[in-house]
C-alpha cells in the first residue's frame, strides 16, 4: 500500500464530512463521502482517476444536488457545502504535488469551518488533530523516495505543540477585535423549542440529549422546581399557540430589586432561535440582551454561537401589578365555536368556583382525579376539537397537551391565561452547575390571578409529580418511555456507573472549556489584564499588545536560532575551533591561507599554528596531544584535563 | 619494534636513494598484508625496490618476468608423470615463494594474469583437482609499465582492485641521481636482513589489532560516500576499498611509531590506495581528483 499525502488528505475530508453530517444536507454528505472514497482508492492506485468528462459530469451533478438540496437562502451552509464539495472533487483529480499543496491550503479553511457549527472541547480537539494530520500530509509531500508516516507525524505534532504556547499568549493578551462583518449563523435542525405549540398531532415526542444551556448559581440554587422560561405563546388558533409579534414595546420591563433577586450565570449553546432562558421574571444587564416586559430575555438575532450572560430573577407574581386591557383581550381570546365540551367543563367549574384562585385549584383537582396519564407517546389527535378529544377521550399526553388544554379552559372561564414554553429542571452536575438538555423542554400554563399576578399552572405536577423534581432523565416513572424515545446517546448508557462517571467528567471538562475559553471575552480579558497589569490605560494596553507581538516574534527567532545553533557533538571540537579562530585572527595572509586550506586535518593545523607561534608552541603541542588522545585513541577527557585545556586556551589566546 | 621498522627503512634507503616516501608506502602495503602494484617507466628502480624489500624482510624471493608467451603453468607449476612411480607428481612453479616480483605484469596474456591474481586472492593454487597452499606470508609485488607503452595487456578494473596499493617511484632528484652515478648506493646482495620471520608476523598481528576511533571511521566513510555521489566517478570506491584504507592507515600509523590512526594517516595513504580503483587512465588526472577528494571532504573535528 502506498500511503501518501493524497490518501491522508482524503481521510481528513472524510472525517470532516462525518463531523458535519449532522448539520449539512445528508444527500450532499453522502455524495461527498462517495467522491472522497473514490479519491482515496485512486490515491492508493486501486482505481483509476476519472477522466475530464466524468469529472465535469460529477461537478455538474454535485452542483445540482447542492442548489436543490441546500438552496440559496442558507448562505453559510451553502458555502461550507460548496467548499467541501469542491475540495473533494479537486482531490479526486489532483495528480501533482502543486495540486496537493493547494488542497492543503484549502483544507485549513475546511477545518476552520467546523467551528461555525460547534466550538466545544471535543470539536476543538478534533480540529487540532486534523490540523496535525494536515501538517503530516504536507511533510510527506516533501519526501520523494521513502515516505515516513511516523516521522512526518512526529514532526507535525512537534510543530503544533510548539505553537500552543504562542497561541495561548495571543489568546490571553491580544484584544479581541469586534468582527468586521457579521456572519449569519448556520441554521441547524433544532429538536428543542418551537415557536408554535401544537402538541396534538405528535404521536411520539422525539427527544434529543443535546445540551441547551448550563446554569451556575451565584448562591444556592432554588429549592422549588426550576421553570426556565424561554417563550410566551399568547395567541391561540386552531394551529396551536403562537407568539405575539408586537408585544415587546408595549410595556416597560421592570428591574428586579437587587436584594431579593436570584442571581445566576447562563452559558447558552447556539440555537436557531433568538430566545434566552431565565427563571421566573428574568432580567439581564449583559449587553446585547433585550429585557422584555414579561420577564423574557431575548437577543435581536438567533444564537449563532455559544454566549454567556448574567441574569437575575424575581418572583413572577410581583412583576406586573395589573393587567392592561390589551393584555387582557389577548389572553382571553379563544375560538368560541371549537372544543365545546371543554368550554362546557370550564363553565361548570366556573359556576362552582368562588374565586379565580378556587377555579385554579378545582381544575388542578380535575386533572388529578379524572384518570389523566402522563406519557411521552400519546395517540395523535387530529382535526378540529383536539382539546376536547384530549380532555374527554384519550386523557393521555405530555406537557404540551396539558398546557394547551389548561390555558384553553382558563380562557373559556374568563380567566387570562397563556402557554409558556421553556425547560423544566436540569441535571445537577458534580461541578456545582446545572445542565439543561433538549429533552428537558417543557410547556406549562401561566394564569393571571387577581392580587397574585401571573401564576404557574402545571398539570404535570399532579399527573406526574416526579417530573418536577429534576431533569426528565432523573424521573423514575418516565424512565423507560424516555429512554425509548431518546436518540442514541451517552445518556442511554447512564445506568452503567463507569460510563456515567465518564459522561459527567467529560461534561465538566467541557464546562470548563466553555467558561474559560469560549467565555473569555473582552470584559473577562479586561479584568484579567487588570488583575495582572494593574490599572489599564491605552498606554499599558498598547505596551501589552506590542510586547506580546514582540514576544511571539522573539520566540520564533529564538526557536530558529536554537534550531540552527552550532552543535558540538564531539568533545574538544569547540575548543579546537576557538584555537583555530584565534590562530586565523593572528596570522599573516600567507599563514591564514595555509590555515584555511580545505581538508587540512586538525593535527596538521595545530602543528602549523605551533610553528607560526613559536612562543606558544609548547602549549599548542600539549593541546594537540590531549586532542589526539581524546579523539583518536578513544580516551575519555578527565576533569583535570578539561581544566588544563581551559587554561591552555587562555594562555594561548592571551596577547 | 618500530626501531626495527626504522632500520628497515634506512636499510632500503641505501639502495633506493631519495625515495623514502615510496619505501614507506611499500612497507606499509606489505605490513597491511596487501599486494603492491608499482607502475612506472622502465629503469626507475621498480625491480630493485621489490628485491630489496624481500631481502630486508628476510623472505624467500622470486622474480617472474611476465612476457606475452608466459603460460599459467609457467608460474604455478605442473604435474609431471613420473616413470618410476607411475604417478603424476606436482612440481611447484616460481609462485611458491614468499615475495613474488611479477615484473611487467601487463605484458603477459590475460590468462596468466588472472592465474596470478587468483593466487593472490586465495593464497593457494589449484591444479588437477588438488589445492596447494602458498607459503605465508605471500606477497605479490607487481610492476607494470604505463598503459600507453607498446605490447601491454591492461589489467581489468576488478583485478586492479586486488592490489592494496599502487605507487610509482618517479625520477630521482639531482642529488640522489648524483649519488647513484657516483656508485654510492649499496648493492642488494650487501643488504642486511633486518627482520626475522616471526618478528615480521608479530608486527602484522599488532597492526591488525590496532583499534580505530570513530572520527577516523567517519572520515573514511565520508570519503567513500563522496566518491559514490551520482555523477562523480564511473567506478566509486567499494567496501573493499574502505577496508584497504583502514588497513593501510593502521600500518602507516605503525610505521610512524603510533598505535592509533589519525586522519593524517588516511590522507597520507589515500592516493596510493584509491588511485587505481577509481579507474581513470591518466595518472595526472587521477592525482587531481584525489586532491579534490581531500579538499572537498571535511575532516571530522
Mapped onto helix, strand or coil, the DSSP state of residue A616 is helix
User: Cell numbers 442571581 correspond to what residue?
Assistant: A263
Does A68 score more than 90 pLDDT?
A: no
Contact A599 B300 (CB under 8 A): no
Residue A189 banded pLDDT, cuts 50, 70, 90: very low
Q: What is the mean pLDDT of residues B267-287?
A: 77
**pLDDT value of position A383:** 73
**pLDDT value of position A568:** 62
Q: What is the mean pLDDT of residues A325-338?
A: 80
Q: Residue A398 CB: number of other CB atoms within 10 A?
A: 25
Nearest to B262 among A570, A598, A601 (CB): A601
Distance of CA A620 to the CA centre of its chain: 68
**pLDDT value of position A188:** 47
Distance CA A110, CA B208 (A): 65
Which residues from A are below 8 Å from B260, CB to CB?
628, 632-633
Predicted confidence (pLDDT) per residue in B167-213, tens digit: 888 888 888 888 888 877 777 777 777 788 888 888 999 999 998 99
Which residues from A are below 8 Å from B297, CB to CB?
599
Predicted confidence (pLDDT) per residue in A365-379, tens digit: 888 888 888 877 777
Contact A598 B264 (CB under 8 A): no
**pLDDT value of position A642:** 87
Pairwise pLDDT comparison (A485 vs A368), residue with the higher score: A368
Residue A1 banded pLDDT, cuts 50, 70, 90: very low
Name every residue in B having a CB less than 8 A away from some CB of A: 211, 213-216, 259-264, 267, 294-301
Query: Are the beta carbons of A77 and A35 closer than 8 angstroms?
Result: no
**pLDDT value of position A134:** 92
Query: Are the beta carbons of A397 and A406 closer than 8 angstroms?
Result: no
Contact B263 A603 (CB under 8 A): yes
Average pLDDT, chain B: 85
Helix axes B283-296, B263-274, angle to 10 degrees: 150
Predicted confidence (pLDDT) per residue in B3-54, tens digit: 788 888 888 888 888 888 899 999 999 899 999 998 888 788 888 888 888 8
Pairwise pLDDT comparison (A552 vs A9), residue with the higher score: A9
Residue B249 banded pLDDT, cuts 50, 70, 90: very high
The enclosing H or E element of B81 equals strand B77-82
Does A477 score more than 70 pLDDT?
A: no
Nearest Cα neighbor of B38 from B30, B28, B50, B27 is: B50
Q: What is the mean pLDDT of residues A131-153?
A: 83
**pLDDT value of position B219:** 92
- Lowest mean pLDDT across A302-311, B40-49, B103-112, B283-292: B283-292
Does A640 score more than 80 pLDDT?
A: yes
Contact B213 A602 (CB under 8 A): no
- Chain A, residues 515-574, CB within 8 A of chain B, namely 570, 573
Q: Which residues contact B265 (CB under 8 A, 6 or more apart)?
A: B216, B249, B250, B252, B253, B256
**pLDDT value of position B269:** 93
Dihedral, A378, A384, A388, A394 alpha carbons, nearest 10? -20
Q: Which three cell numbers stand for residue A429?
A: 452536575
Nearest to B261 among A576, A600, A632 (CB): A632
Does A142 score more than 90 pLDDT?
A: no
Instruction: Report which listed range, A332-341, A532-541, B232-241, is most confident.
Output: B232-241
Predicted confidence (pLDDT) per residue in A232-275, tens digit: 888 887 777 888 765 544 556 666 555 567 888 888 887 777 88
Distance CA A602, CA A140 (A): 40
Average pLDDT, chain A: 80
Contact A631 B297 (CB under 8 A): no
Q: DSSP label at B10?
A: H
Contact A576 B267 (CB under 8 A): no
Mapped onto helix, strand or coil, the DSSP state of residue A172 is helix
- Lowest mean pLDDT across A48-62, A187-201, B152-166: A187-201
**pLDDT value of position A481:** 61
Q: How far is A599 from chain B (nearest CA, A)?
A: 4
Nearest to A603 among B214, B264, B297 (CB): B264
Predicted confidence (pLDDT) per residue in B70-99, tens digit: 888 888 888 888 888 888 888 888 889 998
Preceding peptide of A250 cis, ω within 30°:
no
Q: What is the mean pLDDT of residues A602-625?
A: 89
Does A385 score more than 60 pLDDT?
A: yes
Distance CA A54, CA A354 (A): 80
Q: Which three cell numbers stand for residue B106?
A: 601487463
Distance CA A597, CA A609 (A): 13
**Count of A–B CB contacts within 8 Å?**
46
Residue A631 contacts B where some CB pair is shorter than 8 Å? yes
Q: How far is A153 from chain B (nearest CA, A)?
A: 30
Contact A634 B211 (CB under 8 A): yes
Q: What is the mean pLDDT of residues A112-134?
A: 87
B200: left (phi over 0), alpha (psi -120 to 50) or beta: alpha
Which residues from B are below 8 Å from A633, CB to CB?
213, 259-260
Residue A603 contacts B where some CB pair is shorter than 8 Å? yes
Helix axes A75-93, A97-113, angle to 10 degrees: 160
Nearest to A632 among B262, B294, B298 (CB): B262
Does B160 score more than 80 pLDDT?
A: yes
Pairwise pLDDT comparison (A549 vs A129), residue with the higher score: A129
Predicted confidence (pLDDT) per residue in A559-579, tens digit: 888 887 766 667 788 888 888
User: Cell numbers 371543554 correspond to what residue?
Assistant: A342
Pairwise pLDDT comparison (B145 vs A361), residue with the higher score: A361
Q: Is the pTM of this model over 0.80?
A: no
Which residues from A are below 8 Å from B294, CB to CB?
599
Q: Tell me the residue ranges of DSSP E strands in B93-235.
A: 99-103, 124-127, 130-133, 139-144, 165-167
The enclosing H or E element of A542 equals helix A538-563
**pLDDT value of position A190:** 45
**pLDDT value of position B245:** 94
**pLDDT value of position B253:** 93
Does A478 score more than 70 pLDDT?
A: no
Predicted confidence (pLDDT) per residue in A436-462, tens digit: 888 788 888 888 887 778 888 888 877
What's the sign of the alpha-carbon dihedral A320, A321, A324, A330?
Answer: positive
Q: Which residue of B has its CA nearest to A599?
A: B295
Question: Hey, which residues does B61 pair with through a beta bridge?
Answer: B99
Nearest Cα neighbor of A471 from A421, A422, A426, A423 is: A426
Residue A107 banded pLDDT, cuts 50, 70, 90: very high
Q: Which residues of A14-37 are buried (b: 16+ CB within 10 A; e: fewer)?
A: bbbbebbeebbbeebbebbbebbe
Residue A634 contacts B where some CB pair is shorter than 8 Å? yes
**pLDDT value of position A434:** 87
Does A92 score more than 70 pLDDT?
A: yes
**Percent of chain A with pLDDT strictly greater than 70:** 86
Q: Which three cell numbers stand for residue A616?
A: 606558544
Amino acid at each position: 500500500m502506498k500511503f501518501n499525502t493524497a490518501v491522508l488528505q482524503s481521510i481528513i475530508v472524510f472525517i470532516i464530512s462525518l463531523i458535519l453530517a449532522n448539520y449539512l444536507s445528508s444527500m450532499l454528505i453522502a455524495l461527498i463521502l462517495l467522491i472522497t472514497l473514490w479519491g482515496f482508492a485512486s490515491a492508493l492506485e486501486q482505481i483509476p482517476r476519472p477522466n475530464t468528462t466524468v469529472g465535469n459530469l460529477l461537478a455538474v451533478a454535485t452542483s445540482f444536488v447542492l442548489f436543490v438540496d441546500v438552496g440559496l437562502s442558507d448562505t453559510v451552509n451553502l458555502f461550507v457545502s460548496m467548499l467541501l464539495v469542491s475540495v473533494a472533487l479537486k482531490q479526486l483529480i489532483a495528480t501533482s504535488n502543486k495540486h496537493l499543496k493547494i488542497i492543503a491550503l484549502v483544507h485549513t479553511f475546511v477545518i476552520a469551518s467546523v467551528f461555525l457549527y460547534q466550538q466545544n472541547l471535543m470539536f476543538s480537539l478534533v480540529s487540532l488533530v486534523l490540523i496535525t494530520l494536515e501538517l503530516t500530509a504536507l511533510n510527506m509531500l516533501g519526501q520523494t523516495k521513502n515516505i515516513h508516516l511516523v516521522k512526518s507525524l512526529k514532526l507535525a505534532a512537534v510543530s503544533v505543540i510548539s505553537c500552543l504556547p504562542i497561541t495561548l499568549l495571543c489568546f490571553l493578551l491580544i484584544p479581541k477585535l469586534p468582527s468586521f462583518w457579521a456572519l449569519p449563523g448556520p441554521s441547524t435542525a433544532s429538536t428543542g423549542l418551537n415557536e408554535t405549540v401544537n402538541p396534538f398531532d405528535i404521536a411520539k415526542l422525539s427527544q434529543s440529549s443535546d445540551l441547551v444551556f448550563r446554569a451556575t448559581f451565584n448562591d444556592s440554587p432554588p429549592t422549588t422546581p426550576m421553570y426556565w422560561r424561554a417563550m410566551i405563546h399568547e395567541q391561540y388558533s386552531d394551529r396551536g399557540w403562537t407568539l405575539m409579534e408586537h408585544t415587546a414595546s408595549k410595556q416597560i420591563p421592570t428591574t428586579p430589586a437587587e436584594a431579593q433577586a436570584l442571581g445566576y450565570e447562563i452559558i447558552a449553546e447556539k440555537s436557531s432561535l433568538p430566545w434566552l432562558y431565565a427563571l421566573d421574571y428574568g432580567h439581564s444587564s449583559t449587553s446585547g440582551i433585550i429585557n422584555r416586559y414579561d420577564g423574557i430575555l431575548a437577543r435581536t438575532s438567533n444564537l449563532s454561537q455559544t454566549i454567556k450572560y448574567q441574569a437575575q430573577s424575581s418572583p413572577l407574581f410581583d412583576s406586573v401589578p395589573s393587567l392592561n386591557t390589551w393584555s387582557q383581550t389577548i389572553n382571553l381570546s379563544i375560538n368560541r365555536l371549537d372544543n365545546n365540551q371543554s368550554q362546557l367543563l370550564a363553565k361548570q367549574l366556573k359556576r362552582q368556583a368562588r374565586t379565580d384562585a378556587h377555579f385554579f385549584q378545582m381544575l388542578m383537582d380535575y386533572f388529578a382525579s379524572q384518570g389523566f396519564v402522563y406519557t411521552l407517546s400519546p395517540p395523535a389527535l387530529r382535526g378540529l376539537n383536539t382539546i376536547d378529544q384530549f380532555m374527554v377521550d384519550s386523557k393521555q399526553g405530555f406537557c404540551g397537551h396539558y398546557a394547551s388544554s389548561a390555558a384553553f379552559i382558563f380562557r373559556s372561564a374568563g380567566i387570562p391565561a397563556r402557554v409558556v414554553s421553556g425547560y423544566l429542571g436540569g441535571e445537577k452536575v458534580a461541578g456545582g452547575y446545572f445542565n439543561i438538555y433538549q429533552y428537558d423542554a417543557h410547556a406549562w400554563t401561566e394564569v393571571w390571578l387577581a392580587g397574585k399576578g401571573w401564576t404557574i399552572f402545571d398539570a404535570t405536577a399532579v399527573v406526574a409529580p416526579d417530573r418536577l423534581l429534576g431533569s426528565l432523565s432523573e424521573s423514575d416513572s418516565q424512565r423507560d418511555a424516555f429512554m425509548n424515545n431518546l436518540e442514541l446517546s451517552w445518556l442511554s448508557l447512564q445506568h452503567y456507573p463507569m460510563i456515567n462517571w465518564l459522561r459527567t467528567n467529560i461534561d465538566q471538562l467541557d464546562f470548563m472549556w466553555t467558561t474559560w475559553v469560549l467565555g473569555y471575552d473582552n470584559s473577562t480579558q479586561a479584568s484579567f489584564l487588570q488583575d495582572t497589569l494593574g490599572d489599564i490605560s491605552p498606554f499599558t494596553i498598547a505596551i501589552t499588545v506590542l510586547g506580546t507581538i514582540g514576544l511571539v516574534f522573539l520566540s520564533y527567532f529564538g526557536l530558529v536560532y536554537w534550531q540552527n545553533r552550532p552543535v558540538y557533538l564531539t568533545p574538544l571540537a569547540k575548543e579546537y575551533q576557538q584555537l583555530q579562530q584565534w590562530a586565523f585572527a593572528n596570522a599573516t595572509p600567507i599563514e591564514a591561507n595555509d590555515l584555511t586550506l580545505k581538508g587540512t586535518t586538525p593535527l596538521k593545523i595545530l602543528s602549523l599554528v605551533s610553528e607560526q607561534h613559536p612562543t606558544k608552541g609548547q602549549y599548542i603541542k600539549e593541546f594537540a596531544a590531549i586532542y589526539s588522545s581524546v579523539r583518536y585513541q578513544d580516551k575519555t577527557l578527565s576533569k583535570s584535563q578539561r581544566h588544563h585545556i581551559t587554561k591552555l586556551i587562555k594562555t594561548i589566546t592571551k596577547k | 619494534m618500530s626501531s626495527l621498522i626504522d632500520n628497515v627503512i634506512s636499510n632500503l634507503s641505501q639502495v633506493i636513494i631519495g625515495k623514502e616516501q615510496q619505501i614507506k608506502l611499500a612497507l606499509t602495503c606489505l605490513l597491511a598484508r596487501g599486494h603492491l602494484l608499482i607502475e612506472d617507466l622502465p629503469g626507475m628502480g621498480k625491480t630493485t625496490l621489490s628485491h630489496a624489500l624481500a631481502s630486508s624482510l628476510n623472505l624467500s624471493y622470486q622474480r617472474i618476468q611476465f612476457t606475452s608467451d608466459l603460460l599459467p603453468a609457467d608460474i604455478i607449476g605442473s604435474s609431471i608423470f613420473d616413470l618410476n612411480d607411475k604417478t603424476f607428481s606436482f612440481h611447484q612453479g616460481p609462485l611458491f615463494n614468499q615475495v613474488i616480483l611479477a615484473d611487467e605484469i601487463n605484458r603477459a596474456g590475460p590468462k596468466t594474469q588472472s592465474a596470478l591474481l587468483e593466487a593472490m586472492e586465495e593464497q593457494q593454487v589449484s591444479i588437477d583437482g588438488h589445492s596447494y597452499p602458498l607459503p605465508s606470508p605471500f606477497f605479490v609485488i607487481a610492476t607494470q609499465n604505463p598503459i600507453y607503452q607498446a605490447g601491454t595487456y591492461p589489467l581489468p578494473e576488478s583485478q586492479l582492485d586486488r592490489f592494496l596499493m599502487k605507487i610509482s617511484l618517479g625520477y630521482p632528484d639531482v642529488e640522489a641521481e648524483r649519488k647513484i652515478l657516483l656508485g654510492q648506493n649499496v648493492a642488494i646482495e650487501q643488504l642486511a636482513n633486518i627482520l626475522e620471520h616471526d618478528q615480521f608476523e608479530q608486527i602484522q598481528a599488532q597492526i591488525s589489532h590496532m583499534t580505530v576511533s570513530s572520527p577516523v571511521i567517519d572520515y573514511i566513510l565520508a570519503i567513500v560516500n563522496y566518491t559514490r555521489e551520482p555523477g562523480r566517478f564511473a567506478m566509486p570506491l567499494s567496501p573493499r576499498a574502505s577496508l584497504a584504507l583502514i588497513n593501510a592507515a593502521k600500518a602507516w600509523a605503525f610505521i610512524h611509531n603510533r598505535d592509533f590512526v589519525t586522519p593524517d594517516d588516511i590522507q597520507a595513504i589515500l592516493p596510493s590506495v584509491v588511485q587505481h580503483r577509481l579507474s581513470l587512465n591518466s595518472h595526472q588526472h587521477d592525482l587531481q581528483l584525489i586532491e579534490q577528494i581531500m579538499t572537498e571532504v571535511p575532516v571530522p573535528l
